[in-house]
Amino acid sequence: MAGRAPFSKEEAGVIPRCHLLNGQDIWEPAKNPLNRYSTIRKGLGMQKLNPGYSFSKAMLEKDPSISIGLVVNAKGGSSIEQWSKESEFYKEAVRRTKSALKTGTLKGVLWHQGESDAKDVHYLQKLELLIKGLRIEFDMPDLPFVAGQVNNVPLINEQIAKLPATVDSTGFASSEGLKAMDRWHFDAKSMKRLGQRYAEEILKLRVEQRAEQKNAPDKK
């Protein structure tokens, strides 16, 4: 999600222990708008608050010993078809992530999209293909992937809610109870709650993966 919710002067400051991959594919201190360096975005003035802000703060609060790097490459209003493996959107997200991997470790993918696919009954299958492609690209078959529900699009949200039962090591951030400032875009309060829900899902996946690794039989 590019993010369209407004943020305060205080929220425009640097997020401690959080880094953002910039236009030269170099880490710099992260601050809003987090989609500022997307190579596929709309105008810079349109980039506002997205879930990455409160997601990062929640993750950092959970573990004071870590730092976080964000690779944000979104475009508002895009359809899932525009993220096919052959697309510029997909290739740029992969390219920038691989550049970040020279100095970082990939821990998960946050996905928030679907308004443009409001009538697509095959959305979940397309999302499955996207996840499969990314896991192959990074040679990470258990790469955590969390998809967020959108505002008041039942057909898409119902499919997103089925993702954890369909694909291993995935979760979804619910949009239940969130409010929008227009037809599609969550207001600032709801956006921050959504980011916290993303963090809750990623943390839950990490616990599940650690438990599976602990219980896995020893290979000799």
Phi–psi pair at 167, nearest 5 degrees: -130, 130
Q: Residue 205 falls within a domain, yes or no?
A: yes
Q: Residue 5 falls within a domain, yes or no?
A: no
Q: Residue 216 falls within a domain, yes or no?
A: no
Exposure pattern of 126-154 as b/e (b: 16+ CB <10 Å)? bbeebbeebbebeeeeebbbbbbbbbebe
Tally of residues, the chain:
220
Q: How confident is the model at residue 219 (pLDDT cuts 50, 70, 90)?
A: low
pLDDT at 79 over 60: yes
Residues 171-187 have pLDDT tens digits of 999 999 999 999 899 99
Q: For the chain, what is the mean pLDDT?
A: 96
**CATH code, domain with 43:** 3.40.50.1110
pLDDT at 213: 81
Determine what percent of the chain is predicted with pLDDT higher than 90: 93
Which 3 state secondary structure label does DSSP give 47? coil
Segment 29-37 mean pLDDT: 98
Q: Residue 123 falls within a domain, yes or no?
A: yes
Q: Residue 4 falls within a domain, yes or no?
A: no
Range of the domain at 66: 10-210
pLDDT at 39 over 80: yes
pTM to 2 decimal places: 0.95
Q: Residue 217 falls within a domain, yes or no?
A: no
Q: How confident is the model at residue 220 (pLDDT cuts 50, 70, 90)?
A: low
Q: Residue 129 falls within a domain, yes or no?
A: yes
Residues 125-171 have pLDDT tens digits of 999 999 999 999 999 999 999 999 999 999 999 999 999 999 999 99
Q: Residue 111 falls within a domain, yes or no?
A: yes
Please state at what angle helix 123-137 crosses helix 88-100, rounded to 10 degrees: 40
Instruction: Provide the number of structural domains found in the chain.
Output: 1
- The count of C-alpha atoms lying within 13 angstroms of the C-alpha of 115, restricted to the half-sphere facing its C-beta, is 17
pLDDT at 26 over 70: yes
pLDDT at 198 over 70: yes
**What is the spatial distance between Cα 18 and Cα 52, in angstroms, rounded to a whole number?**
10
